[in-house]
Structure 1
């Protein structure tokens, strides 16, 4: 597996690459952090626009922010792929490489071993490099008011840090044992100059680590990296297995070892080339009401208690940049990232469920609430088997409340094709599977109870064997030779000059 793009060791190198391609727009005009900046981001994203750098962000009272704000970093599929070091067409191939890295086949001879050198190099890239000094610790900020945190939506409770890479480790682990670290992107609500609320749901790695410290009755060290390099950002957002550390895995994505440095105040290692690092502690039992905030569902979430982080120190580069994003009803930046992750995960899904030909998580369906799966169907009941296997494969698929299974002659990413399959290959009395009382996203207000809901599986495949007592109709299709004749005939006429009228 070869990388198509250079290594981006930090956010700045990626921004320089974007600028060289004409994909960075510097905005010198004053733009308020409250609501207006979010509106500009959404407008740029929905137009397929560039990365934005707000050079004159304006806070409460009209005060100019002390640092530029960067937004819409991954606002296009091409930039998400670039963050992985890839051209867009190489994403699926890279997914196959990652699937092989997770479950490599046995080596057969020296030639086979040499052919796997890229895998070995990627594995070695997962070992972080510890520095004694780092750019992110060049200076310190007095408190959170120095960071230009935006308030995105009119109904939001206040300023919200939206691209935090939250670094935690379990109780009993050593600060240097980075293989046990978790990096997660969790909402962080600012409630004071030295207080943040960390919204991590129970199934997330940060929450699991928090439970180990709470059981021990000890405060948990936490660090938040702001403005990390693209590989660290994307690794923190990827749905990796619980046994894989995002910090070490980012080395595979980046193509070089992750540089880390001991935090100044808490016993943790932090990304050495981030723009800002916020260090602090989460004490057992200390919570505060978080929200409401606009979320990826297009609704404001309910107010719920989540852990409070007491900020102990903030370090940053000499001239820091603050990276932000906005979450709302798709399309938004997370949904664009999700589209690329869909393609990245496909080979992993195929490795577990070999008959799968394609999986599409429509971005408009909150990125993961609905899945359309095409399969190579060979036996009765196979569609139901695939539904159940997908729901149980990754924790993230437990939040997929509808799975539609189609045959491989259907384009799973084309709603017209899927609608035709539903209309002609599905009978509601036979082909619908309903599960009750299964895990669900707390933000799904349609569920009868918070965190608990049903699942719907729809078998829109051609019925075979014991699935039907009727002869199935034959799908109509034109002869390929006739199609080629028609295309050639029309192409000649499109290329011909227009006829002139006789005078």
Structure 2
């Protein structure tokens, strides 16, 4: 299924990108405070290459590591991170849906045809190494080694923005990898050996923290910086709680994840990362985090979050530091979200078969609004689809507005969607409002933190008991006449 090589680490992916003309070296000094943000966002909005800053500066001090940004700044590079071309993503999504809910095997021929699924299952089992490249150098717990950006002018300070945070729950063993969680959480640099970890209540890291807090014991934490693309994307995906990010990364990578024992905490960590920060989160130790600019386009409020005390830093020889910036779309997370939209569609269809297509507009923070195209067959079906989606995945519980349209409407065309809303929706009959439902607390429009309403708009043609009127007929040009017109105009305008 993969058409691109396996990328075991960040360097392999960068080498591939450079061979494709997708890596640019910037030799001029660039400030980590605010200036680098402007450069990387400008590159992203131009559909530009991965950027390597060889002279990143914190004031007059030159950073000890080159900084890599805009890694997933185009949809094509997000797909490449999974070993795919962009047009292969939907097919891979269907494969993942089959892997998640396989149908019964019917005979030997069918069993043999499922070899890719079996191979993916084998690749999902991580492999433990005795030593790994990420432990070539052991350094004191001094975070001044890390060239963390201060992205926005109103930010509280330096921020580690692509950390893959590795945790496990209390009463688990170091080797129980199925219970591990990998998450990408904001990490504010608080001092030479302290970080603030901003994990929200619904995330796996926060759930693990609660288990250690309940036991009144320090929680081991490791942060992997500069991971391979499959690990980064697996940690960023809104996977179900029962799916291991480590195992899923093996499927995306096309090769087993390779791990190594951390030096000072009882955890296994990605062996081919660039840097590992090890440390402990002690019960009840928090600090005020923020404000920081976020994907909503606003600064977050200042709130207490757990503090990680760094016990050691290990890294490769001549390590690279991977960074990004989050803000009002378009930004790197919104580009990743567009590809994940296509990847998740087959899984959604498996649960809600009448869904033909679904679009999460990047401008709506990639999840606050959804437009759903369905094959409508019976009255009330649009409402059933809305409720099914809101209850399907945690991420959909934060989707404030769902607009449902018919199969003749392109859900990715605002002109089509607005026409359907204007001609097929009655505000009294076709709008569903729910109150006091879960909501991302970053949504300042919510009347109460963590609770808000949902809006469902049925912009489909009304059938059966949904209307007492005869519905209008859509005007269309005969396809033969359209073809004739195209040929005629080509000759006239040639």
Q: Tell me the TM-score normalised to structure 1 length.
A: 0.97
User: Could you report, residue by residue, the CA deviation over 1:250-291 in whole angstroms, capped at 9, with x for unpaired residues?
Assistant: 000000000000000100000000000000000110100100
User: Could you report, residue by residue, the CA deviation over 1:41-89 in whole angstroms, capped at 9, with x for unpaired residues?
Assistant: 10000000000000000013x1000110000000000000000110000
How far apart are the structure 1 equivalents of 2:199 and 2:344?
23
**Aligned mate of 2:130, from 129, 132, 136:** 132
Q: Which runs of 5+ in 1 are unaligned?
A: 496-503
Deviation at 1:492?
Answer: 2.5
Deviation at 1:141?
Answer: 2.7
User: Could you report, residue by residue, the CA deviation over 1:362-386 in whole angstroms, capped at 9, with x for unpaired residues?
Assistant: 0000110000001000000000000
Deviation at 1:4?
Answer: 1.1
Q: Are 2:185 and 1:186 equivalent residues in the alignment?
A: yes
Deviation at 1:249?
Answer: 1.1
Matches within 5 A, 1:477-492: 477-492=476-491
Q: Are 2:216 and 1:217 equivalent residues in the alignment?
A: yes
Matches within 5 A, 1:312-331: 312-331=311-330
Matches within 5 A, 1:57-76: 57-60=56-59, 62-76=60-74
Instruction: Determine the structure 2 residue equivalent to 1:84.
Output: 82
Q: Are 2:170 and 1:171 equivalent residues in the alignment?
A: yes
- The number of residue pairs the alignment matches comes to 493
Deviation at 1:174?
Answer: 0.7
Deviation at 1:247?
Answer: 1.1
Deviation at 1:188?
Answer: 0.2
User: Could you report, residue by residue, the CA deviation over 1:168-201 in whole angstroms, capped at 9, with x for unpaired residues?
Assistant: 0011111011111000000000000100000000
User: Could you report, residue by residue, the CA deviation over 1:372-408 in whole angstroms, capped at 9, with x for unpaired residues?
Assistant: 0010000000000000000000001010000000001
Q: Tell me the TM-score normalised to structure 2 length.
A: 0.99
Q: Which runs of 5+ in 2 are unaligned?
A: none
After the TM superposition, list the runs of 4 or more consecutive aligned residues in structure 1 that deviate by more than 4 angstroms.
Answer: none
Matches within 5 A, 1:423-442: 423-442=422-441
The two structures, once aligned, show a CA RMSD in angstroms of 0.6
User: Could you report, residue by residue, the CA deviation over 1:71-116 in whole angstroms, capped at 9, with x for unpaired residues?
Assistant: 0000000000000110000101100000000000001111111111
Deviation at 1:491?
Answer: 2.0
Q: Secondary structure of the equivalent of 1:393?
A: coil
How far apart are the structure 2 equivalents of 1:241 and 1:251?
16
Q: Secondary structure of the equivalent of 1:124?
A: helix
Q: Secondary structure of the equivalent of 2:391?
A: helix
Q: Secondary structure of the equivalent of 2:405?
A: strand
Deviation at 1:494?
Answer: 4.0
Q: Secondary structure of the equivalent of 1:218?
A: coil
Q: Secondary structure of the equivalent of 1:408?
A: coil
How far apart are the structure 2 equivalents of 1:461 and 1:208?
40
Deviation at 1:490?
Answer: 1.6
Q: Secondary structure of the equivalent of 2:94?
A: helix
Instruction: Determine the structure 2 residue equivalent to 1:159.
Output: 158
Instruction: Determine the structure 1 residue equivalent to 2:384.
Output: 385
Instruction: Determine the structure 1 residue equivalent to 2:363.
Output: 364
The answer to which of 80-89 and 485-494 deviates more is: 485-494
Instruction: Determine the structure 2 residue equivalent to 1:15.
Output: 14
User: Could you report, residue by residue, the CA deviation over 1:106-165 in whole angstroms, capped at 9, with x for unpaired residues?
Assistant: 011111111110000000001111000100000023311011001000000000000000
Matches within 5 A, 1:82-481: 82-142=80-140, 143-481=142-480
User: Could you report, residue by residue, the CA deviation over 1:464-485 in whole angstroms, capped at 9, with x for unpaired residues?
Assistant: 0000000000001111100110
Q: Secondary structure of the equivalent of 1:183?
A: strand
User: Could you report, residue by residue, the CA deviation over 1:222-241 in whole angstroms, capped at 9, with x for unpaired residues?
Assistant: 00000000000000001111
Q: Secondary structure of the equivalent of 2:486?
A: helix
